[in-house]
Copies of this chain bind each other. A is one copy, B any other.
Amino acid sequence: MRPLHPKNKEEILAIAIPLFAGSGYNGVSMRTIAKNVGLSAAALYHHFPDKQTLYLSAMAKAFVDKADSLDKILSSSATPEKRLAQFITRLCELVHKDKDFSVLIQREMMDGNKSRLQLLATEIYHDLFQGVTELCQDLDPQHDPYLLAISIIGLVMYHSQTAAIRPYLLHSKKQHSDPQVIAQHVTQLVLQGLKTSPAE
């Protein structure tokens, strides 16, 4: 029987992405993906030559267009402080809306071999990191822009990645998962640290 709704690659990848994000490469079998898609495992090989290619395609799809909107903010003509605030807010929204994004990046950084890390660095991180580094130099030439760039990105990412364990920690409140609340906290931390107001 010919299927009523033949699956294309994009549909398969859209289903595979959260699976890989949730259980990692080794934790997701071709049969698991197939079952979720509504196909036999063998049918997947009509769309992808092997599992590795399917996985890399899923990664590419998960990352595409993510960096673009951030790059626009970074290269705008606003003041450095405003660019920083906008960038942090946008990144917070992004990782909140697409929860697989930061998890997949994190998994790649831990699991990836050299060539995959290089791919991640050039394809995803290069422009983004370059932009943040330049922003950091505009913000304060005194600081090491490299360390500062990692700190800014890391702050946002870490708040997103700890979401799973948060319910089991004390004093956890709903607002702590609100991207706007996190964005405001991170922005203030980066710009002013703990000194709530210089006027005090």
Contacts and interface: CB of A to CB of B under 8 A. Distances in A.
Interface string A154-179: 11011101101100111111001000
B111 A196 contact: no
A185 B121 contact: no
Interface residues of A, number: 63
Nearest to A191: B193
A113 to B, nearest CB: 10
A120 interface: yes
A107 B109 contact: no
A42 interface: no
A129 interface: yes
B165 A154 contact: no
Interface of A: 23-24, 26-27, 103, 106-107, 109-112, 117-118, 120-122, 125-126, 129-130, 133, 139-140, 142-148, 150-151, 153-155, 157-159, 161-162, 164-165, 168-173, 176, 181-182, 185-186, 188-196, 198
A11 to B, nearest CB: 25
A171 B145 CA distance: 9
A146 B173 contact: yes
Contacts of A181: 147
A158 B147 CA distance: 11
Contacts of A157: 154, 158
Contacts of A150: 158-159, 162, 176
Given A151-B155, A155-B154, A169-B129, A161 B193 contact: no
A117 B170 CA distance: 14
B190 A194 contact: yes
Given A24-B26, A190-B193, 7 more contacts: A117-B164, A129-B169, A140-B194, A144-B185, A154-B154, A158-B158, A188-B193
